[in-house]
Structure 1
Amino acid sequence: MTLLALERLTVRRGDCPVVDAVSLNIAQGECVGLIGPNGAGKTTLLRAALGLMAHEGRSSLTQMSAPERARHAAWMPQSREIAWPVTVETLIALGRIPHLPRGARPGAQDQRAIDAAIHRMGLEGFRHRTATQLSGGEQARVLIARALAQDTALLLADEPIAGLDPASQIATMQVFAGLAREGHAVLVSLHDLGLAARHCSRLLMMHAGKLIADGPPREVLTPENIEHGFGITGFWADTDHGPVFQPLEVTG
């Protein structure tokens, strides 16, 4: 089942296309890594797909009403500012708003979703702490949990593991891969190519606004692609612990 379809999605800055006629489908059960250098158009692609900025072409998400879209797709932007000194549990509970009638309070089903998100992100010990008093990495995990509590078919996340410690980065990618195995779909932009290789079932590589590669990690992270897309060399190995990819040198 297709959960996101883009057809020649284009975003222009003046006459220059920042995202240039990108077409792709994201299906149920996929954990898709969106990779590319800074300025490749990854954030713009995600925001345009959600209808958050003007674009040409078609996104299946923009065909939905705003309430329907909020129940179908959760969005995690790069910005991680928590403005209000509320408890972690209260902040995570905001993820349930799309599922509640106007003015209604969370019920038993909502609480189960909140509890499941807290458990997935290892935040049991933070439940009653004030979110604004947490470290930056801890706040990032809380915001990921808020998106998980939304319990949507599709999750779009823009660099969600940036700034997290290695254990939290790995744990978060394991959560995303687990969501895909459960039948959800995840589209996540990443700069860590090693984690993308290990935890994503598919990679989309962007360069200068164009989608230049799409497929399983081993087929995308080829020497030719990473030199063209990133200007680097890299090392790939299939090991007993799964695939390992390590960027090595700048090519020039």
Structure 2
Amino acid sequence: MSTLQKTTGIVLRTTNYAESSVVVLMFTEQYGLQSFIVNGVRKSKAKFAASLFQPLNLLEMVIYHKPSGGLQRIAEVRNSPAYTSVSFDFYKTTIVLFLNEVLLKCLKQESPEPPLYSFIYNGLQLLDVYQGVPSNFHLVFLVHFAKFLGFFPDNSFSASVEYFDLQDGVFTPLRPKHVQTVVQPYSGYIAQLMQLNFETMEQLKISSAERKVLLHTLVEYYELHVDNFGKLKSLEVLEEVLA
């Protein structure tokens, strides 16, 4: 039996269903990953606007929650908060599409994960209000997201411990014999990103070319540590926009 419950959610994917409905996959604050069927949303006089369910929109909802799982239903929904710039800023829109693809590949749990939810939710809000081009946002996101996925790098970088082993996620004084090794200055950039957050991300001063290499390095790190991560379709677009 379903009961009315309140939760907030982050839209991950919307798939057309039947003639006028959609199935929306969301990462919710109260229940983790959940799929919702929204009937008639593609009709001209729909109860809910289809635009509510764009990738990484932040929503506040009243839902009919079934503890048994399966498709859930939405009683009420609104943006919470509504984006003021993400939907209109080309740079931010491209970052959102990239992050959306990463989240779809990494989020697996149908159970609440409040710290992870807060990290994503607050990060998206900060991206929306950020003034200027958020060139390092996705880099900070990738490094700190790894903390919740269980492969945050160890914090032992120094002048004498300068190599970063992508396979083991550790800094080491001796260069590993395999090719999945990061050397200076990029190992130092990773160590710096570990100390930064979304408010201080501008402190990482790197060129567009260095940013591209660093991004590829972090994506490779995810490929090694997330099962079936595969290739990111949005990676090339992000590189072109932020070059």
TM-score between both structures, scaled by the size of structure 1 = 0.26
Larger Rg: 2
More strand by share: 1
TM-score between both structures, scaled by the size of structure 2 = 0.27
